[in-house]
Structure 1
Amino acid sequence: MSAPSLTDHPDQPGWRTPRGRPSLSEVFGSIKTRPTGGFWRKLASFLGPGYLVAVGYMDPGNWATSLAGGSKFGYTLLTVALLSNMMAILLQALCARLGIASGRDLAQACRDAFPRAISWPLWLLAEIAICATDLAEVIGTAIGLNLLFGIPLEIGVLITALDVFLILWLQNIGFRWIEAFVVALLAVITVCFAVQIALADPNWGSVIRGFAPTTEIVRNPEMLYLALGILGATVMPHNLYLHSGVVQTRAYGESLPERREAIKFATIDSTIALMFALLINASILILAAATFNKVGKTDVAELEQVHSFLAPMLGSAIAPTLFGIALLCCGLNSTVTATLAGQIVMEGFLDIRLPAWARRLLTRAIAIVPASIVTIWYGSEGTAKLLILSQVILSLQLPFAVVPLVMFTASRGKMGELVAPRWVTALAILTAAIIIALNLKLLYDVATG
C-alpha cells in the first residue's frame, strides 16, 4: 500500500492553512500495512505506536506515586490506576483519530488552527512539560545505573543524554527498530516484575477487591492526594503529541475506507498497549502493598529505599537487582519516547527547517539540559522531591493539550467524515473535566502544603 502523500490528502476547510511537511517526515508512511488479508495480519502491521505511547504511562514518575500508594494504603488505590488507564485509552484513541483523519499531529493542528498569540504559548507549555517528563526519566535512568553499577548520579545523568544517538541510528535503519527496541525493554520489565510479584506472594483476593471503586478514597484526604498523584502521573501531555505523530508512520492509504480502517487498528493497538501499561503500574503498586504495607512500612517513596528493602523483605538477593534492571529499562524507554515527542512538538509548532540530525540534537538538548542541571544541582537526596515536582508541572500543562485535542476531534469541519462519534466526544469532555478538576485540586493541595 502506498504511503500517504501531501497532495492527495483531502484537507478539510476548517484548518487555517493547508497541510505542510508531515509529522516525523523522515519516517512518515515508511511502514507498509496490509491492504488485504485477515484481521490479525492487518493488526500486526499496525502494532507498535501504541507501545511507544504506553512507555510514558509507566515512567519513573508513575513508579514514585504507585510505590507510595501501595506502601501507604495497600491495594486500595488499584481502582485509581484502572480509572486513569481507561481515561488514557480514550484520549489516545482520539490522538490516533486526529493523526489519521487530518494528517496532522496535535502540535501541527494547534499551529494550523490557532493564531500565533495562542499557538506559541501552547508550544512553550508543551516544551516545559517535555522538560518535566525528561526530568523524571533522567532521574530514573541515573538511579538505575547507580543501583546496578554504582555509577554516580551526576555521571548517570550525562550518560542518558547519549540516547539521542541511539535514536538517530535506529531511525536511520528503520522506525520498526525503534519499536522493537521499546518492546524488548518492556518484555524485560515484565519478566522482572513477574518474578518479584511471585516472590512477594500477594493476597490475590485483596488485589481483585482493590480494583473495585470505594468511597474511602474521597473520605480520606491523604488517600485522595495520592490518588490524584497517580492520575496526574498517568495521563501525560507529551503522549498526546507523540501518538498523533507516530501513528502516521504507517502507510495506510488516503481513501475514506482505508483511513477509517486505520483508525480502527490504531485504536486497538493503543488499547492493547495501555492495558499492558496498566499491568506494569498495577504490579508496582501490588509489589509495594505485598512487601511494605504488609509489614507496616508505610512511608516508602524513594526508589533507592525500595531497592535496599526488597532483599531482606522478600528473602531473595535477586529481587533488588531485578528492580534495578526494570527501573533502568523503564528510564531508557521513556527517554527514547520523550525525545520523539520533543521532535514532534518543536517541528509541529514552529515548522523549523533543519537536517534530521540537527533537529533531533536541538530538541533533545532543549529537554535534557535543564533536566540534567536540576538533577545534578539537587543530587541524590532530592530525587523524590524532583519526581513530585515533575508531576506537578505536567498537571499544569495537561489541560492545554487535552482541550485542543477534544476540540479538534469533535469538529466536523476539521475531521470531515472521520469526526469522533458524539458519545466518544461526550466521554472525552467528561474525562477532560475530571482531569482538569482533579489536577487543579492536586495543585491546590501542593500549594497549600
Structure 2
Amino acid sequence: MAPPATKNDDQRRARRSQDRPGYGQLLRTEGAWSFLIPGFLARQPFAMLTISIVLLVEHTTGSFGLAGAVSATAGIAMALIAPQSGKLADRFGQGAVLVPQVFLHGLTIAALITVALLDAPLWALFVAAVPAGATAPQISPMVRSRWAARLDGSPLMNTAAAFESVTDEFTFVVGPVLATALCTGVHPAAGLVAEAAVSLVGGLVFAAQRRTQPVSSRRRAAETDADGVTAETEVRASALSVPGARVLIAAVLGIGMVFGGMQVSLTAFTESIGQPGLNGVMYGVFAAGNMLAAVAVGTIRWKRGPQVRLLTGYVALVLAAALLAVAAQLGPWTVLLGALGMLTGLCVAPCMITCFTLIETLVPSSARTEAFTWLTGAIALGQAAGSTVAGQLADRMGAGAGFLAPVVGTGLALLVLLTFRRALDRPHNGRVAARGLSHRSTVAVD
C-alpha cells in the first residue's frame, strides 16, 4: 500500500507543474491575450496576399505564369523590406511603425487592384506589386517580439516559439482558402480588398495594445540608469551584426526551400500521374506533420541545448528530404511519398522553432523585431527559390526531380550550420556592434 501524500509531496508536484513549459502556463502569461487575439486577426492577410494577387492577375490577363511572376515580385519585395520595417519598430516602437504602414498598405493594394482591372501595361502590374508587398505589415515577428519581451530568459520561450509556428501554419491554411473563396465567389478583386481591410482593422487594434509592446531602443537609450548616468543617445545596430543571426538566416532559408520545393514538386507529381486532385491532400499531409511536430515541441522540457537540437534536427531534415527525393525517382507510389512527406514535415517544425528560440538569445532586445523579420523574410525568399528551382528541375528532368530542391537547400544550410556552429554559442550581453567604426551599448533588458 502506497504511503499517503505529504504536504512536501504536494509542494514538489506544484513546483514541477509550474516549471513544465506547457501551453497552459504560456497562455497564463500576464497580458498575453491582449496581443494574441488582435495579432491572430492581423496576421491573416499575410497568407492572403500572394494568392489573391495570383487570382486577380490571372483573371485579367488569362495567364497563370504572369500571375505567378507578379505575385513573386510582391513576395520578394516583402521579404527584402520586412527587416527594415522590423528595425524601425525596434527603434521607434511597434505602434509608431504599424499605424502608418497599414494605411500605406491599403493605398498600395488599391493601386494594384486599379492597375489590374484597367488592363494597364504588364510592366505596370510589376511596378504596382512592389509597394504592395513591401508595405505588408509584419505582425508575426511583432508578436514573437512581444513574447520575447514578456518571457526574457524563461524556458517558456521555446513553447512560445512553438505556439507561434502552429499559429503561422494555421494562418496559411485559413488565409488562402478565404482568399480563394472571395475571389471565385464574389469578385476577382475581393481577396485583395479583404486583405487590405483586415490589415487595416487588425493592425490598428494590435498597435493599440501599447502596454505589451517592447520598449523601443530610442526610449531605452534616453532612460537614466540606477546610478543616474544617462545611456548613450541612440542604438544604430542591426541584427545582422550578430554572427549567429546570419547563421540562423541561412538555416531558415533552407527551410523555406522545403516549403517552396514541396508545393511545386507535389503539383508536378500529381499532374504527371493524372491525379491533380491529390495535390491538396498530399501537401496537407506534409503540413499536418509540421503542425503536429510544432505542437509536440512546445510541450517538451528539453535536456539538450538549442544548438545541439538544431544541428541534430537539421541532419534529420536533410535525410528525410533525401529519402523523399529518392522515393520520387522510384515510381508513382503516392502512399510512400505521402508518408515521407509527413516525415519531412515532422522534421521541419523542430528546426524552425529552434531557430526562433535561438535568435532570442543571440540578439539584444533592441533588435529583436528586426531579427524575427529577417528570419520570416528568409523563409519567404527560400520559398521563392525552392519553387523556382523545383519548377526548373521538374520541367527539364521529370516531375520527380523537383524534390531535389529541398535536398539542395537544406544540404547547403546544414553545411553553413556545421561550419559556423560556434557562432550559435555566443548569447548577447547587451552590447551590439554598430554600423561604423565605433561601438555603442544598450541596456540588456526591456
TM-score by length of 1: 0.32
Task: Specify the structure having the higher radius of gyration (Cα).
Answer: 2
Higher RCO structure, 1 or 2 (CA under 8 Å, sep 6+): 1
TM-score by length of 2: 0.32
